[in-house]
A and B are shown apart, each in its own frame.
Chain A
């Protein structure tokens, strides 16, 4: 790249860099730094460095909660992606009019408050609620089974809430996808599902990656859903942070938990980045191998 080109690139990315620093990096560091102070009785924090909070966090049995937060978020993300792919595919194949209608229907729930919608689920899953009655009528459950207040309920409501955030980026990518490639694959002997997996999926890879982020990150920080439909033994980190901040008035402890949560988001992000890197590396390796093969073939 030329010198001026590099400067131009800097110039373009500078505003977003400043924005991210001022409104994301600095606040994150402030939150993190609070975890190294002692709590004060007025709900704030005292001056002076201490590791006591961290020791307390490690001592408290959070492991189960962290683990549960991660697996519920991961399963929510996986289910959302699996549902979104065929969804986005079929919407992108519709004609323009139907596309607009269906896209509108997907966004429709957003006209109702998020909390109201989760509350509706709570009513729906209630032992006296509609779903329980249906299941009992079908003989699939009896009155002793509880649909509400467990990890399963959190999972179902999370998938419901985050699904549009997965469909939209994948649909946006699918809209730009050249569907004649699918015909080409079929033409060359691929079955429909193979073409979907090997041609469509790589074609909307970017959409899938942003869908993963759009679902996984809010799922990790989820607080309203476990609070309303989760039970005593299905709390997530979000609930704990709330408890430490407000009822317990222990801000440093809450900050330490927030840091743990941030870490659980960064980990999968790093994993995604690493996977992409590794794919590039694999490509490069194959290229080198093939060149070597050609060279040796040419010499023989």
Chain B
């Protein structure tokens, strides 16, 4: 079935006392661009290596296109890997590197030449075919590694942080290129990264991993807008966590009494009852900061609080404000533009209004106090030099 092309069925992998991959079950669709996203050491590479055949799960099975591949050796799987360090064969030319898998498969000579020349064309490296890997730049090596893994049309292409060694501009360029290549070849890509930007811009779906488990598997937008756990909310982007108890419900919405802040209105998609303790995640860019109260046409029922600016951090695209309201700190982002009608300059110690729509807060299902440390702390309060 197309929806269950690559299937992980209760896969667990331990290294001694450490459980690197912990009872993971999910499936990847055929032709999908799928990302594994998570912090360093969460088990992404281990999971990938089990698909490639370089590690064997301690328990659980892996299926590819309906066949159990758990115990198949690497050369018996139609799965290829793009290694982080490229792993191009230094004693072979680029052409021979790319032809490697085709020669192993004993393809006819004419077909090998045709396929290799075609893929060299696709990655725009035809002029470098007779060079050796040491004579290429990082981005070129990367393209060759991808071509080598794609040339015999594997069922799945595994990419383990393929862009980690490249500089920012080249990385952005290669991202576009990867996207194009995926569209051209239509092969299932499994992409490992700890860079949320990469994962979000490329993937059809993302699995966010933490401590060997998959925390959430969704589209980029779902993961960002509706994070199921405090880990996902804090790891992907930035957020504010508001802790409180539901005091009343009104249709799709509810009112939460937040310690140190007051009554906050939020979208109650899980239809939680009064009395439930909840954790609301509000992303900084969803919070508006103004010197004047919001105009009435913005609607009733929006969350409005007054606050004092405790810090202003200019970040280019945005300015980040740290605000203190009722004894608790929150952060908000604001883009710069003359056309923003309320573009007053707000500075340190100003009294401001902060406001956001109830739809812009999301109540996470699982909250762990540990995850709060993933988000940036407010700067330590400064002593004012002048009164």
Contact = CB atoms under 8 A, between A and B. Distances in A.
A202 interface: yes
Interface string A202-229: 1101000000000000000000000000
B250 to A, nearest CB: 57
Interface in B60-106: 73-75, 79-81, 83, 85, 87-91, 93, 95, 100-101, 104-105
A187 interface: yes
Contacts of B101: 188-189
B283 interface: no
B148 interface: yes
A191 B72 CA distance: 12
A203 B88 CA distance: 12
B75 A189 contact: yes
**Which of A181, A194, A290, A297 is the most central at the interface, judged by chain B CB atoms within 10 Å of its CB?**
A181
Interface string A282-300: 0000010011011001000
A181 B104 contact: no
Nearest to A199: B89
A185 B100 contact: yes
A293 B129 CA distance: 13
A280 interface: no
Interface residues on B, range: 20 to 34
Chain A interface SS verdict (over half): helix
Contacts of B53: 186-187
B87 A183 contact: yes
Contacts of A190: 75, 100, 104
A186 B73 contact: yes
Interface string B106-129: 000000010001000000001001
A248 interface: no
A180 B87 CA distance: 6
Contacts of A202: 91
Contacts of B105: 189
A47 B53 CA distance: 75
A132 to B, nearest CB: 44
A190 B89 CA distance: 13
B75 A186 contact: yes
B335 to A, nearest CB: 44
Interface of B: 52-54, 73-75, 79-81, 83, 85, 87-91, 93, 95, 100-101, 104-105, 113, 117, 126, 129-130, 148-149, 152
17 contacts: A180-B87, A183-B52, A183-B81, A184-B81, A184-B88, A186-B53, A187-B75, A187-B79, A187-B149, A188-B75, A188-B148, A189-B105, A190-B104, A287-B93, A290-B130, A294-B126, A294-B129
